[in-house]
């Protein structure tokens, strides 16, 4: 007992020692000299209290504890306005897309736990069926399990034997399954099959649930499109005569499903980079899951940790690729190491808007759904050339082709012009030259194109939402450029401001003594901005110089 008590006292003394000088024993008030006999008795007292610990109280400073009731009460956590602001800013940063905090949780908790519980599939479990496709980097088969496993829902499966990028694809699929399973085909398992020497390199085996027979590419090539999709996605054939309204509703539903799937991927920091009708599959699975899903994550990049940042750029499908080709600025050419990429990911995401690459591709799919004459490869390639000549301005393209449009093309424009042209507005906000000016998947989902109630045009609320949408879609970097240009243009002796040459000088030099306040302020801002970008780029380059291993592929199970 004595020991426990003394230990407790000892522990408390550690915390309270900060108050020692301010709070002497009450019998010896502050300022008064303590007489020698009293000091001796105090020592004796300390020694008595210290019994059981082995050290006298002169060492333990037990006096503090004994008289702790006289100390000011600890106030605990004190809330201050700057403290709260800092905490809010930190939390917002950690949760901003692509999500540093959820990323840590996913990687160190969810992924870890999942590894123990996911049902393993072995090579011998698989019975090969018909070949579904063969790309440059793998072969895809419909397969089944030799012995059904209770943990795996019955039904056909899909197996991809991937030679290259298989590891990346396993990583992406596992991330997607944990973060937004409904966006993509359901991934079951992936492993590395170590082939014996002489039989070629390693092969990654990836297994998904078989979602269905039809890709969007198959469906839009049919003359019946979009009616061939109607019953699949709406559950029944609409009670409407064939025509624009009915087609519009079907296309709206497909677009909503695809935007929803993309929003899921983007919210977790994954950019697909190969969105095209061939990589969209209609999932027949169950009544609740009859929806379009995304497949083929081999070219995807995980910007939370910087995986697959550049490798497949050269493989992007030119028919659907956005004009920027690179999803990240070429000033940040390759991904930093995982911890740095994770820490910087919200900044890089905001600076580069990498998700808008997929939005452009989806915009082209939207175009193909609306204009039957753009559904063939050749016509799409030709459209891309025309659009490039129009500086990627869809309105300019429309002005170019509309006067001599075929009935097919005219019908497409009519469909987009329904309800005050909200379809056209959504399309033009997706297909734009500058990534930053394109809408995000989330913003597009809130577009009134998807919220029509009946066919009587927009309600007041929908109109308000449209105004709000337009306001949020403005590219405010343009405003900043405008101010700088304005300052440059107004730089005459009579009007003040800066000339272009002066601005250039400000970008390069430091604020100087005797310079005008306006000049020095701007020079400082530009300097901070320069420093920030330089530090960011340098830290990345520095980390990249060290050879990066594909650390994350270590967790992929091996089948010898």
Ligand X SMILES: Nc1ncnc2c1ncn2[C@@H]1O[C@H](COP(=O)(O)OP(=O)(O)OP(=O)(O)O)[C@@H](O)[C@H]1O
Q: Any contact of residue 278 with ligand X (CB under 6 A)?
A: yes
Report the C-alpha gap between 273 and 256 in whole angstroms. 19
Confirm or reject binding of residue 132 to ligand X (CB under 6 A). yes
Which residue in 35, 133, 148, 339 binds ligand X (CB under 6 A)?
Answer: 133
How many Å apart are CA 426 and CA 448, to the nearest integer?
Answer: 9
Q: C-beta of 143: minimal distance to ligand X in Å?
A: 11
Instruction: Show the tokens assigned to 275.
Output: 């969105």
Stretches 10-18, 293-301, 520-528, 538-546: which one binds ligand X (CB under 6 A)? 293-301
Nearer to ligand X, 204 or 469 (CB): 204
How would you classify the pairing of strands 291-294 and 280-283? antiparallel
Task: Give min distance, CB of 283 to ligand X, in A.
Answer: 8
The only residue of 263, 296, 355, 358 in contact with ligand X, by rule CB under 6 A: 296
- Measuring CA to CA, how many Å separate 452 from each of 249, 367, 419, 448, 470? 10, 20, 9, 7, 17
Q: Is 205 a binder of ligand X (CB under 6 A)? A: no
Sequence-distant (≥ 6) Cβ neighbours of residue 478 within 8 angstroms: none
How is residue 53 written in tokens? 């610990």
Nearer to ligand X, 317 or 393 (CB): 317
Residue 208 near ligand X by CB under 6 A: yes
How far apart CA 381 and CA 358 sit, in angstroms, is 18
In the bound state with ligand X, the residue whose beta carbon lies nearer, of 132 and 405, is 132
Q: Which position among 281, 322, 394, 416 is part of the footprint of ligand X (CB under 6 A)?
A: 281
Q: Which is nearer to ligand X, 97 or 215 (CB)?
A: 215
Q: Give, in order, the Cα–Cα distances in Å from 521 to each of 481, 507, 510, 515, 528.
A: 17, 12, 10, 10, 11
Q: Binding-site residue total for ligand X (CB under 6 A)? A: 21
Is the Cβ of residue 233 or residue 488 nearer to ligand X in the bound state? 233
Rounded Cα distance between 105 and 100, Å, is: 9
Contact 177, 155 (CB under 8 A): no
Q: Distance between CA atoms of 530 and 508, rounded to whole angstroms? A: 9
CA pair distance 432, 15, nearest whole angstrom: 62
- Beta carbon of residue 206, minimum distance to ligand X (angstroms, whole number): 9
CB of 138 to ligand X, least distance (A): 4
Integer angstrom CA distances of residue 363 from 265, 266, 317? 17, 16, 15
Pairing of strands 203-209, 187-193: antiparallel
Q: Which of 50, 138, 277, 354 binds ligand X (CB under 6 A)?
A: 138
CA–CA separation, 309 and 98 (whole Å):
14
Binding status of residue 135 toward ligand X by CB under 6 A: yes
Q: Which stretch binds ligand X (CB under 6 A): 115-123, 129-137, 398-406, 409-417?
A: 129-137
- Binding residue for ligand X (CB under 6 A) from 60, 158, 394, 506? 158
**Which residue has its beta carbon closest to ligand X?**
135
Of the listed pieces 253-261, 292-300, 495-503, 504-512, which binds ligand X according to CB under 6 A?
292-300
- Quote the least distance from Cβ 150 to ligand X, whole Å: 22
Which residues carry a binding-site annotation?
Answer: 160
Positive/negative CA dihedral, 333, 269, 450, 459: negative
- From 375, 462, 451, select the one nearest 412 (Cα to Cα): 375
User: Cβ of residue 156: shortest distance to ligand X, in angstroms?
Assistant: 8
**What angle do the packed helices 377-389 and 394-401 form, to 10 degrees?**
110
Question: Binding site membership for ATP: which residues?
Answer: 160
SS3 per residue for 351-420: HHCCCHHHHHHHHHHHHHHHCHHHCCHHHHHHHHHHHHHCCCCHHHHHHHHHHHCCHHHHHHHHHHHHHH
Please tell me the distance from the alpha carbon of residue 275 to that of residue 258, in angstroms, as a whole number: 10
185 near ligand X, rule: CB under 6 A: yes
Choose the stretch contacting ligand X; rule: CB under 6 A; options: 17-25, 66-74, 277-285, 528-536.
277-285
Among 180, 295, 341, 427, binds ligand X (CB under 6 A): 295
Among 106, 125, 174, 211, binds ligand X (CB under 6 A): 211
Which one, 381 or 532, has the nearer CB to ligand X? Answer: 381
Residue number with CB closer to ligand X (47 or 132): 132
Q: Does 165 bind ligand X (CB under 6 A)?
A: no
- Region of 6-14, 104-112, 131-139, 326-334 interacting with ligand X (CB under 6 A): 131-139
Is 541 annotated in the active site? Answer: no
Q: Is 298 in the site for ligand X (CB under 6 A)?
A: yes
Q: How far is the CB of 552 from ligand X (least distance, A)?
A: 20
Residue keyed to tokens 């007489």: 35
Residue 47 binds ligand X, judged by CB under 6 A: no
**In the numeric block, which tokens belong to residue 344?**
């910087």
Structural contact between residues 145 and 121, judged by C-beta atoms closer than 8 angstroms:
yes
Restricting to residues 215-254, name those near ligand X by CB under 6 A. Answer: 215
271 versus 435: smaller Cβ distance to ligand X: 271
CB of 363 to ligand X, least distance (A): 20
Q: Which is nearer to ligand X, 140 or 431 (CB)?
A: 140
Alpha-carbon span 164 to 96, nearest angstrom: 32
Using the CB atoms, write b or e for 178-195: b if 16+ within 10 Å: bbbeebbbbbbbbbbeee
Annotated catalytic residue within 274, 302, 355, 358: 274
How many residues does this entry show for the chain? 560
- Minimum CB separation of residue 136 from ligand X in Å reads 6
Q: Which is nearer to ligand X, 315 or 445 (CB)?
A: 315
Least distance CB 266 / ligand X (angstroms): 20
Enumerate residues 6+ apart whose C-beta is below 8 A from 374: 367, 368, 380, 383
The residues annotated as belonging to the active site are 274
Under the rule (CB under 6 A), what is the footprint of ligand X? 132-133, 135-138, 140, 158, 160, 185, 208, 210-212, 215, 278-279, 281, 295-296, 298
């Amino acid at each position: 007992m004595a020991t426990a008590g003394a230990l407790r006292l000892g522990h408390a003394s550690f915390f309270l020692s900060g108050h020692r000088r301010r709070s002497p024993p009450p019998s010896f008030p502050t300022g008064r000299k303590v007489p020698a006999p009293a000091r001796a008795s105090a020592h004796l007292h300390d020694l008595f209290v210290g019994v059981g610990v082995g050290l006298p109280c002169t060492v333990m400073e037990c006096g503090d504890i004994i008289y702790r009731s006289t100390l000011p009460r600890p106030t605990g956590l004190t809330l201050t306005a700057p403290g709260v602001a800092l905490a809010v800013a930190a939390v917002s940063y950690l949760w901003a897309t692509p999500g540093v905090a959820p990323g840590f949780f996913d990687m160190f908790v969810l992924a870890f736990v999942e590894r123990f519980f996911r049902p393993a599939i072995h090579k011998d479990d698989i019975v090969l069926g018909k070949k579904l496709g063969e790309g440059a980097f793998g072969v895809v088969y419909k397969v089944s399990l030799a012995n059904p496993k209770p943990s795996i829902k019955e039904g056909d499966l899909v197996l991809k034997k991937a030679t290259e990028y298989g590891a990346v694809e396993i990583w992406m699929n596992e991330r997607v399954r944990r973060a937004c399973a409904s966006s993509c085909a359901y991934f079951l398992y992936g492993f590395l099959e170590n082939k014996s020497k002489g039989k070629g390199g390693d092969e990654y085996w990836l297994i998904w649930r078989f979602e269905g027979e039809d890709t969007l590419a198959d469906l839009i090539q049919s003359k019946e499109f979009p009616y061939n999709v109607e019953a699949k996605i709406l559950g029944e054939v609409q009670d409407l005569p064939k025509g624009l309204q009915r087609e519009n509703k079907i296309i709206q539903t497909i677009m909503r499903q695809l935007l929803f799937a993309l929003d899921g991927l983007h919210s977790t920091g994954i950019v697909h980079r190969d969105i095209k009708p061939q990589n969209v599959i209609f999932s027949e699975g169950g009544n609740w899951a009859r929806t379009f899903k995304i497949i083929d994550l081999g070219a995807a990049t995980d910007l939370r940790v910087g995986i697959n940042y550049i490798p497949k750029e050269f493989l992007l499908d030119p028919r659907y690729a956005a004009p920027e080709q690179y999803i990240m600025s070429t000033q940040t050419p390759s991904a930093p190491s995982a911890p740095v990429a994770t820490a910087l990911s919200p900044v890089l995401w905001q600076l580069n808007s990498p998700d808008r690459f997929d939005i452009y591709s989806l915009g082209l799919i939207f175009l193909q759904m609306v204009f039957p004459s753009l559904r063939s490869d050749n016509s799409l390639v030709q459209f891309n050339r025309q659009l490039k000549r129009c500086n990627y301005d869809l309105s300019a393209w429309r002005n170019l082709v509309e006067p001599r449009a075929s009935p097919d093309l005219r019908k497409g424009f009519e469909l987009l012009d329904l309800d005050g042209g909200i379809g056209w507005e959504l399309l033009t906000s997706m297909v734009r030259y500058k990534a930053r000016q394109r809408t995000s998947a989330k913003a597009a989902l809130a577009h009134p194109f998807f919220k029509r109630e009946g066919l009587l045009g927009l309600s007041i609320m929908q109109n308000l939402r449209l105004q709000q949408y337009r306001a949020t879609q403005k590219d405010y970097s343009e405003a900043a450029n405008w101010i700088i240009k304005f300052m440059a243009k107004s730089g005459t002796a009579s009007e003040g401001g800066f000339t272009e040459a002066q601005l250039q000088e400000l970008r390069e030099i430091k604020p100087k003594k005797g310079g005008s306040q306006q000049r020095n302020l701007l020079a400082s801002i530009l300097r901070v901005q320069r420093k920030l970008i330089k530090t960011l780029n340098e830290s990345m380059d520095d980390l990249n110089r060290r050879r990066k291993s594909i650390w994350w592929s270590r967790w992929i199970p091996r089948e010898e």
